[in-house]
Structure 1
Amino acid sequence: MDTMRERFASTASRLLDEDPRLAVVLAVIGRDGFREAERRHPHRVIDVGIREQLLVGAGGGLALAGMRPIVHTFASFLVERPFEQVKLDFGHQGVGGVLVSAGASYDSPSAGFTHMSPGDVALLDTLDGWTVHVPGHPDEAEALLRRSAKGDDRVYVRLSLQTNERPLPVTGTGFLTVREGRHGAVVAVGPMLDNVLAATEGLDTTVLYATTVRPFDGSALRRAVGDTGAAEAVIVEPYLAGTSTAAATEALADVPHRVLGLGVGRNELRKYGELSDHLAAHGLDARSLRERVSGFLTGSV
């Protein structure tokens, strides 16, 4: 199976053939995946070099000229480093585009902390009007990218090496009910689904699957926890823990509730290790999630 990032390159290359409004903007990283597309569309595959602020600024400029830019690099270089350009060149100018990241929170531990971005979604939460997609499988990434390319809004698509075994239907809106239960709800975001399903096996709880986290589907969460008793919800996200707890709390504001946000901790792990080591260290592997989720829902933590 190809990776989400490989699927992104092949899909975006086909989209360039289909829609003359689209342009892909790169900062060296990812250019190899667009060699053929660059030969076919030399003026719509643009490599600005290792200049991340220019990367986003060029995307904003293309949008002002009526194009639909697809801007790509690692999350830390796409959201964190050029955040001022994201804020001003897209948001302040009132134009749309598609930011597609790679690297996720710690996909490449050996690259060090410079290539890790657990705070990207939380940072975008400080801005208005961004749709955020977090696919859990390459097929989902393709579907969400195709949907994003057609619009005029501001979209962030967060790709990862971590994937679920099987894709699920995605619409770009709302949460999908994967398992129904009577006690509480667990929202699994993107590539967290397989671990959440393993962790909640045998528990009488509802599991919701979120590939679009902004806007947050508060209505689905509200329905899942029910109308009686104290509502209990767990949000399992592959980025900074607690990123969506405020949204969940707002959705449950009219009922007594408890919300637990699980995700990447704020502590920096200074040993490289592998992706699986970082998942375990942040308590996002199936065994750790089982302890944390079951303990919360049974009231033992």
Structure 2
Amino acid sequence: MSLDASMALIDGPWEHRFVAANGARFHVAEQGEGPVVLLLHGFPQFWWAWRHQLAALAAAGYRACAMDLRGYGASDKPPRGYDTRTSATDVASVLRSLGGSRAVVVGHGWGGWIAWSMPTLQPTVTRAIASLSMPHPLVFRKASFTDPTQLRANAYLGGLQRPFVPERQMTVHGGYVQRLLREWASPEGIWPSPEEARTYAEAMALPFVAHSAAEYYRWVVRSQFRPDGWRFAATMRTPITVPVLQLHGEHDRVVLPSTAAEPGAPVAGPFERHLVSGAGHFLPEEAPEAVNAQLLDWLGRLPR
């Protein structure tokens, strides 16, 4: 079966729109009216991972916008631009194209990594951030070098460094993506359903998506030993003064709860961290009610 990006335009109560930003075209699913909350998905997913939060945020009086990151879903898939500085510029440019002046940025997994970077790299558009299943990049970086259990959990990162092989694995028969979804989810839960796993496998099989997804992780690993990575790490030591919410699943087997609980995040403003019981890595879908409750409570307490 031939797949094209239109498969990412899944019908629902949201509206699909395309915005020009940072030299590319980005797809955004949008629902509701009010203050903007921009949602950034993780790997190996696309905007649809936020479908439960779109509805809850819209009902609570927010304009919820879930974008496909560069290289994913129905967004453009250029050959370059998968470093975090470019990702932060993408997000800021999308916000400006949506008409948002300052917004709350919420990310999951790799999207959480980008969300953490926003107050430092794009402070003028960032009102507050929430990160699900991802501690501050410097905390994750330290654990990846010093904690043997987190290093073992990072084994997939090594596999993604190989040329061509991961792209082939991610696009042939959908087995790679479906296996990751099941291995990283809580063993006590029932997520993902066969239909959900198939949807993500098909989205990863879209032309150029697997390569783009791998490029994010190639940059994050290889840049640790290059000047661009050193500069990024130095910049990320800047204290974060906007409010921060961090949520983590107690059964996360890829970014370990012990890593998420490590101190060291340079947060100088209001900071909350909560452990979500019974959930693995994919919090927005494994524990939508708990995530929605925490998110809405936190949003409601943000300074106006």
Q: TM-score, normalised by structure 2?
A: 0.31
Q: TM-score, normalised by structure 1?
A: 0.31
Higher relative contact order by CA 8 Å / sep ≥ 6: 1 or 2? 2
Which of the two has higher C-alpha Rg? 1
Higher helix share: 2
Higher strand share: 1
